[in-house]
Amino acid sequence: MIVAALAYADHNEAEVILEPEAQIETLQRYGAGGARILKEEILDEPGSNLDNLVSSIMSTRNED
């Protein structure tokens, strides 16, 4: 259901709820985008990868 909802929000077409292939494609695109962001924020930044990871987590952390 979560993947179907994500695909629906991404495509804005109700038919995608019944199309598992389109849902998986949407999930793959989101995953690839997340991997690219992590690479840029963690690996491509100068300094220790662990320090960069901690900084990235702390910058997006919600106090609640």
Note the pLDDT tens digit of each residue in 6-60.
999 999 999 999 999 999 999 999 999 989 989 999 999 999 999 999 998 888 8
Q: Residue 16: its pLDDT value, please?
A: 93
- 42 DSSP assignment: I
The owner of tokens 């690996």 is: 43
Q: How far apart are CA 31 and CA 41, in angstroms?
A: 15
Q: Is 64:58 a contact under the CB 8 Å cutoff?
A: no
Cα R_g (the chain), whole angstroms? 16
pTM of the model: 0.63
Rounded to the nearest 10 degrees, what angle do helices 2-11 and 20-38 cross at?
80
